[in-house]
Copies of this chain bind each other. A is one copy, B any other.
Amino acid sequence: MVTMRDVAERANVSIATVSFVINGTKRVAPETRTRIEAAIRELGYRRNVVARALASSRTRILALLHPYLEARPIATANQFLMSAAHGARERGYDLVLWPVNDDEQMSHLLAGGLVDGALLMEVQLRDPRVDRLIASGLPFALIGRTEDEDLPFVDMDFTTTIEQAVGHLRSFGHRRIALVTLRMRASTGNEPGWIMRVKSAYRGAMAAAGEPPTVIAVEGTSAGGRKAARRLSEDFPEVTGVVVVNEGASAGLVKESRALGRSVPDDLSIISAATTAELGEMIEPSLTVMTAPATELGRLGVNALIDQLEGVPDAPPNILIPCTLVPGQSVGPAPA
């Protein structure tokens, strides 16, 4: 292994000067710099990141904390992950995956000194992990929000998204519009914050329209979607438009509605928000979707955290991004 000492010897300088050149931390005479750069090139020197981390007490490693789920097929989570990792690398950081479910494991990890900061996914309204994070003093950014919106976060703009979804259906003449959202398994306890925000945005939009709300919460699976279809059909036959914010359930909802003899979109118009266009296309008929800004949020979350770590002066404040409407074939005029 070639070290800084080797470079220093070959360039006839001290290792301090080599360090200054590599990090650009101090002015170095152009001629000296050239000599050092040549030595680096000739020796193929690469700075050892572990030694650097120990000396500077900055590891340039970020943790992505998320519950370890027996991976549901959530296309958006994957997008998020990839873009966060990519965004981190672009700024010279590495991203480690920490699939932790209980906060005991978590504080163990936090205390190890491996990471400079943490990104937290699947944030709940009252999230014990956030309390841990605060207590640990480790910088962090949230993907999603707790009740307390003063913490650093990036999130979807549910209000705008839901307003647009409801507005889209209303522009087709729908009046009775239901929301199908996610129900967490009882054992999970606290809910992700977005579920509450989606519900309240939906209630707000319906109130503004002067229509009664209908909220159905089911598991994020095809089975959950089928259940929602049956409830709609049996208990709320007057509903003609549905906003789904439950990626895993959207397919089951459409399938079962059709199996119950309800045509999509002739009898029932469906718009699925916070998902991907590819997923919408897999379904028959191709769903009108609102695509989640997962790629943007991954990058923004990582940047927010790094800005914080590096004390960037004009770091952007908390950011909300709405989903983007991609029309498909699942929304049509309300039946007469």
Contacts and interface: CB of A to CB of B under 8 A. Distances in A.
A61 interface: yes
Of the candidates A54, A68, A79, A82, the one having the most CB atoms from chain B within 10 angstroms of its own CB is: A82
Contact of A278 (B59, B97, B221, B283): B221
A114 interface: yes
**Copies of the polypeptide in the assembly:** 2
Contact of A75 (B73, B81, B100, B295): B73
A276 interface: yes
A251 interface: yes
A278 B96 contact: no
Given A78-B71, A98-B89, A282 B252 contact: yes
A226 B325 CA distance: 23
A335 interface: no
B252 A61 contact: no
A99 B73 contact: no
Interface residues of A, number: 58
A42 interface: no
Interface stretch (A44-52, A123-131, A227-235, A313-321): A44-52
B99 A86 contact: yes
Contact of A113 (B50, B223, B276, B281): B50
Contacts of A221: 278, 281
Interface in A70-125: 70-75, 77-79, 81-83, 85-86, 89, 94-100, 108, 111-114
Contact of A282 (B72, B94, B222): B222
A185 to B, nearest CB: 16
A22 to B, nearest CB: 12
A203 to B, nearest CB: 29
Contact of A81 (B70, B79, B81, B258): B81
Nearest to A275: B73
A208 interface: no
Contacts of A278: 72-73, 221-222, 248
Contacts of A75: 71, 73, 75
A69 interface: yes
B82 A99 contact: yes
Contacts of A85: 68, 97-99
A211 interface: no
B252 A108 contact: no
Closest 5 CB pairs of A and B: A251-B282, A73-B75, A85-B97, A46-B111, A222-B281
Given A46-B113, A73-B278, A283-B283, 4 more contacts: A49-B114, A54-B54, A74-B78, A94-B96
Interface of A: 1, 44, 46-51, 53-54, 59, 61, 68-75, 77-79, 81-83, 85-86, 89, 94-100, 108, 111-114, 221-223, 248, 251-252, 255, 258, 276, 278-279, 281-284, 294-295
